[in-house]
Structure 1
Amino acid sequence: MMPFKNGSCLLAVVALTSCATYDTPDNIAAIGTGEGYQAQYRTPDVSRANAGFLRSSEINASRCKPPRGGSGGKGTGAVAYALRGERLSRNDLVDIRIGDDDTFNGNYVVSRDGTLKLPFLSPVRAQGRSTDEIESDIAQELLAGDFFVDAPRISVRVADFASVLVGVSGAVFEPHAVEIGGIQGDQVDSLRQAALGASTEGRNLSVALRAAGGVRPDADLSAVQLRRGGTLYEVDMRGVLEGRNVTDVMLIAGDEIDVPSRGCFQEDLMQPSPISPPGVSLYLSNLTQPAAGNAIAAVGQEVRQVPYGTRYLQAVIDTNCVGGARSTSADRSSVLVSRDPVTDVSIVIERNIEDLLRRADRDDFDPYLLPDDALVCYDSTVTNIAELGRVLGLAAVVAAVVK
């Protein structure tokens, strides 16, 4: 292999080495001082003078607005009577039986206008109401129409709950209208369908929150707002993260849910729960050489899935960015690409993995991962030097051929 003339090989080494050095990624927010979405994004103190003093939780909490629902009333706090129990919605299937008279007996579907239409009777309002309330209205209609002298025995039972479309906005990861409830055709239980009565958990408030991507870490769960028919209700959902059996409201078509924000990152919300994201999908790249496709890179067609509440350091280990021979694998670094869900501004955080592994105060600079975060892993210094040698070797071969 022939060397370059006039010291060109040395110049190439210097040039390539300088190209391999990069500045710390810039961000619009003052990430370095803890003013990002979570304080764990801030830059580690190189001097380690503050090792052992965990301040991230304090920094996060300092930005929190007081909970709108107050400090009490957690878990199964009082919920307005209008939200309790089963409530009918459009397209629900209802079984109605009236004494021994077969004239009105049968299965009815709640109409698009939210009413039940029995023969010879005025439409009975059903949307958002309980079966007891509907039984009372039907009795009044029968007496008013002189069908009975005395109020007959009436049975109104739900035979099947339909799916409903509700709007979810505020401090959730994917605010949009979601369809919840209902059963797919291939999952229908024929015995349950034939039985009198129906039950479902698929139309609960918690299901709607999770269908909208789950609540964000800045959510105020003390006063989740539910607007129904022009009336605004507030539901305390804090107990769901504390192992309490909260009152989970049953939703109807047209409900609008808004989750207010406390304006701060709450670490206690970073845990799996019925209202949290089902997990975190990580987009990753940890190749020494960029590949032409996923198959060649052995990454697979899907991104890596990690549990909600996973931290940066756990993720880089899970994505094979850590470990190996100490002499060749030390001093690796990794970049976390995230997005502030409040401002919708992207954030890029770079960490020296080995340094973070050895810090006693690592939790201060070890951020939690959010849905759709991306990880980029960079190789160690030894690997970079070996790669530099490979490039120079190829350059020398090309120069020799050209000569």
Structure 2
Amino acid sequence: MQRFIALIVSVLVLPLLASQAVAQSSYKIRSGDVLRIEVLEDSSLNGDSIVLPDGRVSVPLVGSVRVRGRSVDEVRSDLVNRLRPNFASDPTVYVSLSSVAEDEEDEDETLTIYMLGEVATPGTVEVERGTTFLQALAQSGGVTRFGATKRMQLRRPGADGRMQVYTFNVKAIMDGKSSLNTPVLREGDVIIAPQRRLFE
């Protein structure tokens, strides 16, 4: 019986896993994709990163890394090289696609997003496709004086169905201290302006 199960696994499951691995290794990363980056030696570096419109992701200890047009294997190799000075030996890095950017062909010109918290006009907002997080925030009237602009949030469902949370320091962008490009929005994205803490 065990041999029969092993045979089924080898015939049906392993080719499927291999085909998925080949698909990921040959896929060229695009803006809007979400990469899952894991470092075996330091779990604090693990997380999901949106590929921004400029084709880059932000990685702890490394900074901004260009990934658009590259395969996950190429990105993994690059990250190993960049992280090497921080470890006694080469770190074990895993890079995978958490979710893929939606194709926008034959889709509506607009999409629906949601604003919550300390924004001027909370609720449902219709924006044009291609609108970024920052542009949508401006379109809605911006953040109230009680909003925590240093930790604005973008929430969107991940490939596993769990809600992914991305945080942006909008104040640094407005003050000219950061040139970070905020991501292009997708249908159903939720932008949250948390309430500012005392002395924040």
Larger Rg: 1 or 2? 1
- Structure 1 and Structure 2 fold alike (TM over 0.5): no
More strand as a share of residues: 2
TM class by smaller structure = 0.3 to 0.5
